[in-house]
């Protein structure tokens, strides 16, 4: 697939783009198309954009996290490690790996509302109502197609069935 393969696109564009590279519709191709259709229908949650705990609370990025993450021996999460002061880093990394969209950061985290923005385009802004537990105006992944560009994470690509 092209460089657009890591962007959120309408279903018709996805089918045309994917089929043009595959040339035929085998079982895998049909599975990928079905996975993408189901992906588009998913209800939005905060953890799709920013790391959260099990209760949906936004996790604060640990100090020097970028440096820690850049070390090759920290790239693989090991569940069998003994508890240590690095647990905060591993916990954050695991939560971060669940995000389905790349490049989002918290712009405001208030009592009842969270506002997140795309680091690559500040015009892409979403507001999440903590009380209702849902985004304002946008409900499904497909509804995000209103935005010019939304980048999918490796986790999202894997969920769809695309090679990363």
Q: What is the spatial distance between Cα 6 and Cα 135, in angstroms, rounded to a whole number?
A: 23
Domain boundaries, the chain: 60-98
pLDDT, tens digit (0-9, with 9 covering 90-100), for 108-159: 999 999 999 999 999 999 999 999 999 999 999 999 999 989 999 999 999 9
pTM: 0.82
pLDDT band at 36 (very low <50, low <70, confident <90, very high): very high
pLDDT, tens digit (0-9, with 9 covering 90-100), for 49-104: 999 999 999 998 877 666 555 555 555 555 555 445 568 778 888 999 999 999 99
Provide the pLDDT for residue 3: 43
Provide the pLDDT for residue 2: 40
What is the side-by-side strand order in the sheet with 104-109? Answer: 104-109, 113-118, 121-129, 134-135
């Amino acid at each position: 697939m092209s460089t657009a393969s890591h962007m959120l696109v309408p279903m018709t564009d996805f089918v045309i783009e994917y089929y043009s590279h595959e040339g035929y519709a085998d079982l895998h191709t049909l599975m990928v198309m079905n996975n993408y259709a189901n992906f588009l229908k998913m209800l939005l949650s905060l953890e799709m954009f920013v790391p959260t705990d099990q209760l949906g609370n936004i996790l604060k990025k640990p100090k020097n996290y970028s440096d820690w993450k850049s070390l090759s021996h920290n790239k693989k999460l090991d569940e069998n490690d003994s508890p240590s002061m690095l647990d905060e880093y591993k916990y954050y990394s695991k939560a971060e790996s669940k995000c389905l969209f790349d490049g989002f950061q918290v712009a405001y985290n208030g009592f009842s509302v969270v506002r997140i923005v795309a680091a690559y385009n500040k015009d892409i802004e979403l507001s999440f109502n903590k009380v209702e537990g849902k985004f304002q105006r946008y409900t499904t992944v497909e509804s995000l197609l209103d935005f010019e560009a939304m980048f999918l994470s490796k986790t999202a690509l894997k969920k769809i069935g695309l090679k990363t």
